[in-house]
Structure 1
């Protein structure tokens, strides 16, 4: 369904509407709500609400970069949750969506009963690192606008971060490719400029104040994000790191059944924390 939130059309997909328990799921860069289809099929007893983030899928992709800042994205999410009459829920985010989920939790801690982060980070610690990343993201954004979506996707699906996806069945690889190809140049470019890792505020310094249960999920073949998750766990008062063997960055794509099992385990482990 499409909601109009603060003048922006926001696409929302819902599975298992009758359930009492709700998980909100946020996709990664170049993704859509549809990325959770397989995971949702393994969680038939849980209501799942997935949202296309700004500039992605069927949600609007404004031309002004100001709509894409992390602050604006989490405000848009909050207004979306109000329209959906959500009070407290489990929040799950993958990669870019994980950064959004963590940022939302830091801003609205009472709304989130439990946080599940897949291959996510709290941003970059130093301004020097963030400045370098902003330059790289700006260069990539310009390239997307100049060369178009297909040229970008041809490059993006071959970066080292997604090497493990080359072993997936061809039909699954094609679904992921089509999801990426369905994006718009302005949406992806402005997402990089507005809420890329270099553009967002670092959240490392806030981790120790997030007292709710946080489950960090990484694939064993994604060494960079495994290390980030280990460091995050040291800072989080109630954090747990789950390592999934023989998977890379997108565990929910590479092994959706095991990913769903980890989600169910997290809900059972923290039963009573959320309504």
Structure 2
């Protein structure tokens, strides 16, 4: 890869999901060819576990300030699950310097009549994260239908990894602030935007694969990439994600 490409290509900013941290992207980053990456810990997570944001808009401003602090002026975003929803909201605010958006297993938003039920659902989980032993909450968290493709070995490994890296009350605050019930619907924005957008979905993740297929039918400019896997593709198929990102970056050369 030429030095010209390395200096001129936009930075790839990576946003993990709830309970994750910046290290979740290590295998994807390792497979990228000459791409400058910045994997961030979300507020309430990792090195930023003491950072609080009260809303999607507050996160948008936090990310803008963080990128300025890191000297990032041109960038692309890749976000998984919660990180994808936050990336999508940020992109919808049309920040200066954003050149592409990549989503992985991320929801564009609920219709208005479903939001209050989702807020109540997330509040129940937030209360548990605050009040119960983290190991007990995680054991139930990873039994949710969206994680149905995990084997018992994978589920146990995931729980052990998240157990040592998270603080229950911090997770609860982030979950409340960024509930899908508080997220505006961004389906129409995705249909209308001229920003390059890609969406990774796993064939074994029935809910989000169906959602992504529907989204692609409504937003013909959106690039839907289907991979063999479940919800957490950057963990299951990091090489495939890196391959697709490398191919896109090559078009900039």
Return the alpha-carbon distance in structure 2 between the equivalents of residues 184 and 197 of structure 1. Answer: 21
Q: How many residues align?
A: 247
Matched-pair contact (CA < 8 Å) for 1:54–1:68 = no
Match of 2:27 in 1: 38
More strand by share: 1
After TM superposition, the structure 1 stretch with the greater mean CA deviation from structure 2, 212-221 or 158-167, is 158-167
Residue 145 of structure 2: aligned partner: 160
Counterpart for residue 262 of structure 1: 244
User: Partner of 2:40 in structure 1?
Assistant: 51
2:123 is the alignment partner of 1:134:
no
Q: Is 1:144–1:152's contact at 8 Å kept on the other side of the alignment? A: yes
Give the distance between the partners of 1:141 and 1:40, measured in 2 at CA: 31
Deviation of residue 175 (structure 1)?
6.1
Residue 79 in structure 1 maps to residue 65 in structure 2: yes
Higher relative contact order (CA closer than 8 Å, sequence separation 6+): 2
- Structure 2 distance, partners of 1:84, 1:134, is 33
Corresponding residue number in structure 2 for 1:118 = 104
1:174–1:44 distance in 2 versus 1, CA, 3 Å: farther
1:225-262 deviations in Å (ceiling 9; x for gaps): 112112222343521101012x1001110121122112
- The corresponding residue for 2:135 is 150
TM-score w.r.t. structure 1 length? Answer: 0.83
Distance 1:213 1:79 in 2: 23
Cα distance in 1, alignment partners of residues 134 and 6 from structure 2: 38
Q: TM-score, normalised by structure 2?
A: 0.89
- Does the CA-based 8 Å contact 1:222-1:248 persist in structure 2? yes
CA contact 1:141–1:192 (8 Å) conserved in 2: yes
1:30-73 superposed Cα distances (whole Å, 9 cap, x missing partner) = 110010011111114211101111111110335x7xx2311101
Q: Provide the rounded CA distance (Å) in 2 between the counterparts of 1:229 and 1:131.
A: 23
What runs of 5+ residues in structure 2 fail to find an aligned partner?
none
